């Protein structure tokens, strides 16, 4: 069974963390409508939803991806780089503990799940304003017994690694090379975002379909040309909170 953990949009989302975006008014009702459609899309692609209670006092809590790194062998509960986000992990750990052994990142390590992209047995970890070398080392130690290689990847200009790259097919990344050094991903097939669409790399592969944000028509056409099936979703209100299609779920097999 494929499970997706999600959480409703916090009524406090207007107070979300912002790093690379100017604050813009977020229409809460519209954000919730978009999130509902995103959840329906997950369901239609075979995910069994586990919806966590909405958290009015945790503005960024809809972005559950940042609270954990879920692999077949273990779930690593993160220590988010933004202090305001650290309490988000409590409910996520409770939910994941039903399915996986849990390992917790300890101080001074900080890491957001959005900075971690696993491709086969390699975990690429973005060194961002949220994720530091201490956490990378803890992840490396945790995953070594399972045969994973961990590679740290410096980032510039964007919040998370998964803003700069997205897994769109086995061993295939969509990439914005202006935000991450492509040479880090040796042996991985790459599709570049259209230069006019720098924010277009964030994509969520579910089975053999990519959940993809509406509005990036040129890059979407590149995916189609590469034989990749896409399902577009509107996430414009969530994007104002610096979140994307990967951030809103934690997907794993049971």
- The span from the CA of 242 to the CA of 214, in Å, is 15
Q: How far apart are CA 178 and CA 244, in angstroms?
A: 19
Q: Residue 80, Cα to own-chain centre: how many angstroms?
A: 13
Measured CA to CA, the distance from residue 160 to residue 163 in angstroms comes to: 5
Stretch that binds ligand GLY, among 22-30, 46-54, 183-191, 238-246 (CB under 6 A): 238-246
- Helix, strand and coil content of the chain, in percent to the nearest 5, comes to 30, 25, 45
Asked whether 164 and 180 are in contact (CB, 8 A), the reply is yes
Question: Which residues between 68 and 97 bind ligand GLY (CB under 6 A)?
Answer: 82
Would you call 240 helix, strand, or coil by DSSP?
Answer: coil
Q: List the one residue from 39, 55, 60, 88 that touches ligand GLY (CB under 6 A).
A: 60
Say whether residue 55 binds ligand GLY (CB under 6 A): no
Using rule CB under 6 A, residue 17 touches ligand GLY: yes
Contacts of 87 (CB under 8 A, 6+ apart): 58
Q: Is 16 in the site for ligand GLY (CB under 6 A)?
A: yes
Piece of the chain touching ligand GLY by CB under 6 A; list 138-146, 172-180, 183-191, 241-249 = 241-249
3, 235, 241, 245: which one binds ligand GLY (CB under 6 A): 241
Shortest reach from residue 102's CB to ligand GLY, in Å:
22
Q: Is 63 in the site for ligand GLY (CB under 6 A)?
A: yes
Closest distance to ligand GLY from the beta carbon of 112 (Å): 7
**Shortest distance, position 156 Cβ to ligand GLY, whole Å:** 17
CB of 66 to ligand GLY, least distance (A): 6
Q: Is residue 242 near ligand GLY by the rule CB under 6 A?
A: yes
Closer to ligand GLY by Cβ: residue 9 or 75: 9
Nearest distance, CB of residue 13 and ligand GLY, angstroms:
8
- Run of H or E residues at 236: helix 236-239
- Give, as one character, the DSSP assignment of residue 14: G
Do 72 and 28 form a contact (C-beta atoms < 8 A)? no
191 vs 248, which CB is nearer to ligand GLY? 248
Active site residues: 160, 247
Query: What radius of gyration do the chain's Cα atoms show?
Result: 17
Q: Where are the alpha helices (DSSP H) in 165-235?
A: 217-225
User: Where along the sequence are the contacts to ligand GLY (CB under 6 A)?
Assistant: 16-17, 19, 60, 63, 82, 159, 241-243
């Amino acid at each position: 069974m494929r499970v997706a953990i999600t959480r409703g949009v916090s009524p406090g989302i207007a107070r979300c963390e912002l790093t690379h975006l100017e604050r813009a008014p977020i229409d809460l009702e519209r954000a919730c409508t978009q999130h509902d459609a995103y959840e329906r899309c997950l369901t239609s692609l075979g995910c069994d939803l586990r919806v966590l209670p909405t958290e009015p006092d945790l503005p960024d809590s809809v972005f559950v991806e940042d609270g954990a790194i879920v692999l077949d062998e273990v779930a690593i509960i993160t220590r988010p780089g933004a202090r305001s986000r650290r309490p988000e992990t409590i409910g996520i750990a409770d939910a994941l503990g039903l399915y996986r052994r849990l390992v917790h990142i300890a101080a001074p390590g900080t890491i957001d799940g959005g900075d971690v992209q696993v491709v086969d047995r390699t975990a690429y970890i973005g060194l961002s304003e949220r994720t530091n070398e201490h956490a990378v080392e803890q992840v490396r130690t945790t995953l070594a017994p399972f045969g994973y290689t961990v590679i740290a990847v410096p980032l510039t200009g964007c919040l998370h690694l998964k803003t700069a790259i997205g897994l769109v097919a086995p061993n295939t990344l969509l990439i914005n090379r202006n935000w991450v050094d492509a040479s880090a991903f040796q042996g991985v097939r790459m599709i570049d975002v259209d230069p006019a669409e720098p924010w277009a790399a964030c994509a969520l592969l579910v089975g053999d379909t990519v959940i993809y944000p509406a509005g990036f028509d040129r890059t979407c056409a590149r995916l189609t040309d590469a034989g990749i099936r896409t399902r577009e979703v509107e996430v414009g209100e969530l994007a104002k909170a610096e979140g994307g299609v990967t951030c809103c779920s934690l997907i794993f097999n049971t």
